[in-house]
Amino acid sequence: MKTFGYARISRDEDGKQESIETQSKLIMSYAKDNDIKIENIIQDNNVSGYTFNRPGLNKIKQLINEREIDVLIAKDLSRIGRNNLETLIFLDLLEESNVRLILITDYFDSFDKNDSRDLLDFKSLYNQFYVKDTSRKIKSNMKQKQRDGLVMHPTYGYQKIPGSKNKLIIDEDAAEVVKLIFELCIEGYGSKLISRELNKRGIETPSMYRNRTRGTSCNANWTHGNLWIYTTVYRILKNDAYIGTLRCGKTAKKKIKGKTQMVPEEDHIVHLNYMEPIIDKETFYMVQRLLENRATNNVKAKNLKVHKYAGLIKCKECGKGFVARYNKSKNVTSISYICAVYHRYGKEHCSSHRIKEQELDDIIYSELENQIEKHQEMFESIDISINKSIDLKDSQIQKIEQLEVEIFRMKEEIKSYAKQLARELISEELYNELTEENRKLMKNKISRLEEVKNYSANLKVKKREVISSIEILKEILDKKELTNTDLVMLIEKIVIEEVEEKELLIDVVWRN
């Protein structure tokens, strides 16, 4: 008769109540007292009882199928499992295979007619409740740590300060890679092309870097686990941790040992300005706009950088985008853009709307000069308004005082309506009508008061924005080389209409 012992422990479920060695000693002691020879004690160390795909338990199932086991001894039923359905299926397997089950501290022996299987079934259900309750407690504890800003796993580019649970500092080596990824994106590289460039340069992936510097395990589940892939690059480009934001609770499991699911962004626990930024906000949000434009307009760079007008040109007739085409003439290569519908389906569905990239450049440069003039006029207009507001400072103060008095009177009037209602001098219907009308007027007065108070300050903010816009426009104009990043930042879309054969009408829609 072949007898095997089974011991299992999970740190999450069982804390430090006992060790795997303690269970093994208990099984050996029981076997000695009952004159039973133990072939082997099979163990699953630090494995949850909720899952039944465990190395040790799988070994026991194999022994059962090969009829190499007659008796199985464990400390109690919870060691076998804490998933009610799976546990009952396993108990049925033992029963069908005529394998005797002994549970020491449950005082259960399946070959003893006095021991009820019904009681064991009930205990299995209790064990499942236990693990679910433990899981809830762990989740609750984790959620509180997230609210407190305790960092579990630092994002690539950061590292924990030794001895601190909630302080992060920049990991300079990894941060340089993050900066490179953002720079390449702005230069027109897509996520796939960036990943290829990183691999070409021999830069370690985040998991490889963690493995080397922190001694963590890097368990790549594919043959090229040492290579960057585009999804890793894309996640880095989208991660607002690099502007100093600690974002917790991004994933969750609805079931114990179930699949990890993404949590809606509005339900994340967010700590703004938590750590020192690696990427400045202007660069970060510029990249988000580039990614959004490429995704919305299905821009694909393939093996080249993104074309400068990719995702920006729209056909007035069919509403679709344009594709870039290379033209070779006398050893000179130029780029032109044609309607995507015409390119794919032919002239029966739309006309080509062909336009050379150089023609678009000339139009944009001319428009840039016009935009600079408009902004300079705006700047002068704001300056005049600021000077007027300084001259009219006394009248502004008077206006503020007047509005405050009017708002106070309206509040008092609403109170008087309440008193009249209490004395039954007016009906509830009339009270509601009067107060509703008064509240609307008061809301408008409060809004106007805020406008008057903030008028000068808003003008100064607007002036700084206009100055910044003029500087950006001049910088782009002076360098004489338009990029996709420049154009996406400045232009919402370029609509091209073919009014007559090969005669185009071009409308540049600038961002506000």
Choose among 293, 158, 182: nearest CA to 237: 182
Check whether 119 has a pLDDT greater than 80. no
Distance CA 286, CA 283 (A): 5
CB 74 within 8 A of CB 56: no
Distance CA 154, CA 228 (A): 19
Task: Give the residue carrying structure tokens 């809830």.
Answer: 136
Check whether 419 has a pLDDT greater than 60. yes
Q: What is the pLDDT of residue 47?
A: 86
Check whether 183 has a pLDDT greater than 50. yes
Which of 200-214, 229-243, 268-282, 377-391 has the weakest average pLDDT? Answer: 377-391
Check whether 122 has a pLDDT greater than 50. no
Check whether 128 has a pLDDT greater than 60. no
* Two structure tokens written together for 52: 């039944």
Distance CA 312, CA 367 (A): 16
Q: How confident is the model at residue 367 (pLDDT cuts 50, 70, 90)?
A: confident
Check whether 125 has a pLDDT greater than 50. no
CB 157 within 8 A of CB 170: yes
Which of 180-189, 360-369, 414-423 has the weakest average pLDDT? Answer: 414-423
Check whether 141 has a pLDDT greater than 70. no
Q: Which residues contact 368 (CB under 8 A, 6 or more apart)?
A: 473, 476, 477
Q: What is the pLDDT of residue 432?
A: 87
> How large is the average pLDDT for residues 335-346?
92
Give domain limits for the chain: 3-145, 158-293, 364-481
**What is the pLDDT of the chain when averaged over all its residues?**
81
Check whether 17 has a pLDDT greater than 70. no
Distance CA 133, CA 121 (A): 19
Distance CA 320, CA 349 (A): 12
Cα 45 to Cα 57, 83, 277, 393, 512: the distances in Å are 11, 17, 41, 77, 61
Which of 84-93, 251-260, 445-454 has the weakest average pLDDT? Answer: 251-260
Q: Tens digit of pLDDT for each residue in 27-53?
A: 999 999 999 999 999 999 888 877 888
Q: Tens digit of pLDDT for each residue in 297-334?
A: 777 666 667 888 988 999 999 999 999 988 887 777 88
Q: What is the pLDDT of residue 387?
A: 66
Distance CA 20, CA 240 (A): 43
Check whether 14 has a pLDDT greater than 70. no
pTM of the model: 0.53
Q: What is the pLDDT of residue 379?
A: 75
Which of 56-65, 71-80, 161-170, 442-451 has the weakest average pLDDT? Answer: 161-170
* Two structure tokens written together for 314: 């729209």
| Within this chain, domains 3-145 and 158-293 share the same CATH topology | no
Q: What is the pLDDT of residue 443?
A: 87
**Range of 96-100, 257-261, 382-386, 425-429 with top mean pLDDT:** 96-100
Complete DSSP assignment for 150-162: --SSPPTTEEEPT
* Ranges assigned E (strand) in 304-428: 313-315, 322-329, 332-339, 355-356
* Two structure tokens written together for 133: 């309750």
Distance CA 227, CA 204 (A): 8
Complete DSSP assignment for 36-67: --EEEEEEEET--TT----HHHHHHHHHHHTT
Percentage of the chain with pLDDT > 90? 31
Check whether 194 has a pLDDT greater than 90. yes
Q: What is the pLDDT of residue 337?
A: 94
Distance CA 165, CA 183 (A): 32
Q: What is the pLDDT of residue 391?
A: 54
DSSP β-bridge partners for residue 72: 4, 101
> How large is the average pLDDT for residues 129-154?
55
Q: What is the pLDDT of residue 388?
A: 63
Q: How confident is the model at residue 178 (pLDDT cuts 50, 70, 90)?
A: very high
Q: How confident is the model at residue 148 (pLDDT cuts 50, 70, 90)?
A: low
CB 184 within 8 A of CB 192: no
Distance CA 343, CA 329 (A): 21
Check whether 205 has a pLDDT greater than 90. yes
Superfamily of domain 3-145: Resolvase, N-terminal catalytic domain (3.40.50.1390)
Complete DSSP assignment for 293-315: HHHHTT---TTSPPPTTTTTEEE
Check whether 256 has a pLDDT greater than 50. no
Cα 399 to Cα 13, 380, 395, 456: the distances in Å are 68, 26, 6, 14
Distance CA 415, CA 392 (A): 35
* Two structure tokens written together for 65: 């199928």
Q: What is the pLDDT of residue 138?
A: 47
Choose among 455, 459, 454: nearest CA to 378: 459
Q: What is the pLDDT of residue 129?
A: 45
Q: What is the pLDDT of residue 294?
A: 83
Distance CA 152, CA 287 (A): 27
Provide the CATH number for the domain formed by 158-293 in this structure: 3.90.1750.20
Q: What is the pLDDT of residue 120?
A: 55
